């Protein structure tokens, strides 16, 4: 049982297994999004089997895990760069074939699993960037955690803010926030915005895009008071 609304604690030591990723999403839905996962939040076995029959191959176990658990939970999956519905899963002609499961909101990028690894239970994920298709995360279970964090971040409405963090404030970021247990991963839009790193404290979640001076950070808080604390701890030029 994961305790406390601190994403860095919930991912301490890394998201090691498919089961850990599922446990994390269950915890995050309840502790951060205010509603536990319900049976109707997932896609049915029959629906996923029909999708597999149409594609002509079985979905990787880790991909199926997410769809079965929260594939219909839009606040976790479809606020910015949405997860496609199961019937929208499609193979594009790249890298010998890529099963695309997520689109950037203006169709500038896609996330998918190369067909060469599709038989693995927890295969690697690639993302389509300005450089073409590049490695994103080594396991689909990690990509589920990243997707849920990112989609909830940008759907946080009044509990979201962003700023360009000057180098002078980076020590404050490291002093007040612990790294979330996700590996570095690329931002599809720009090498300057890579790598993406996540940080957290109780009730506070921060994503840093890139390591340069005035790199963008995005903040999500559980409460208005938590958002005020983020702004006080990192007194940058916040947008809102």
Say if residue 118 is in the same domain as residue 175: no
pLDDT of residue 154: 87
Residue 239 is assigned to a structural domain of this protein: no
Q: How many domains does the chain have?
A: 2
Say if residue 97 is in the same domain as residue 177: no
Q: Domain boundary residue among 103, 124, 147? A: 147
Confidence of residue 15 (pLDDT cuts 50, 70, 90): very high
Q: Give the single-character DSSP code of 220.
A: E
Give the least confident one: 131-135, 163-167, 201-205. 131-135
Say if residue 178 is in the same domain as residue 114: no
The length of the chain, given as a count of residues = 240
Domain of residue 78 covers: 7-147
pLDDT 10s digits, 87-131: 999 999 999 999 999 999 998 999 999 999 999 999 999 999 888
Say if residue 211 is in the same domain as residue 125: no
Cβ-based neighbours of 211, under 8 Å, separated by 6 or more: 195
Structure-token pair, residue 16: 């090691």
Say if residue 18 is in the same domain as residue 110: yes
Residue 43 is assigned to a structural domain of this protein: yes
Percent over 90 (pLDDT), the chain: 92
pLDDT of residue 1: 32
Q: Domain boundary residue among 130, 147, 164? A: 147
Say if residue 91 is in the same domain as residue 179: no
- Nearest 10 degrees: CA dihedral of 93, 95, 99, 103? -80
Residue 53 is assigned to a structural domain of this protein: yes
pLDDT of residue 3: 37
pLDDT of residue 164: 97
User: Is residue 110 within 8 Å of 128, Cβ to Cβ?
Assistant: yes
Confidence of residue 240 (pLDDT cuts 50, 70, 90): confident
Cβ neighbours, 10 Å, residue 211:
14
Residue 240 is assigned to a structural domain of this protein: no
pLDDT of residue 156: 72
Structure-token pair, residue 186: 């690329």
pLDDT of residue 106: 92
Domain holding 87: CATH number? 3.40.1580
pLDDT of residue 155: 81
Whole-number Å distance between alpha carbons of 36 and 91: 32
Say if residue 137 is in the same domain as residue 198: no
Residue 1 is assigned to a structural domain of this protein: no
Say if residue 159 is in the same domain as residue 42: no
């Amino acid at each position: 049982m994961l305790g406390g609304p601190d994403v860095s604690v919930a991912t301490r030591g890394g998201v090691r297994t498919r089961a850990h990723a599922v446990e994390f999403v269950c915890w995050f839905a309840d502790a951060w999004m205010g509603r536990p996962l319900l049976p109707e939040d997932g896609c049915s076995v029959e629906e996923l089997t029909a999708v597999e029959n149409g594609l002509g191959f079985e979905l990787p176990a880790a991909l199926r895990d997410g769809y079965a658990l929260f594939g219909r939970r839009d606040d976790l999956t479809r606020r910015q760069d949405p997860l496609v519905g199961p019937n929208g899963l499609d193979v594009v002609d790249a890298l010998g074939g890529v099963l695309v499961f997520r689109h950037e909101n203006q169709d500038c990028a896609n996330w998918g699993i190369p067909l060469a690894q599709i038989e693995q239970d927890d295969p690697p994920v690639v993302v389509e960037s300005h450089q073409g298709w590049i490695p994103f995360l080594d396991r689909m279970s990690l990509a589920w955690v990243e997707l849920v964090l990112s989609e909830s971040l940008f759907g946080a409405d009044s509990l979201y803010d962003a700023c360009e963090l000057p180098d002078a404030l980076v020590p404050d970021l490291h002093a007040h926030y612990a790294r979330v247990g996700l590996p570095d991963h690329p931002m599809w839009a720009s090498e300057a915005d890579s790598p993406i790193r996540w940080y957290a404290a109780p009730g506070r979640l921060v994503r840093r895009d890139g390591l340069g001076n005035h790199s963008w950070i995005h903040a999500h808080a559980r409460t208005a008071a938590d958002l005020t604390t983020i702004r006080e701890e990192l007194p940058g030029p916040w947008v809102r």
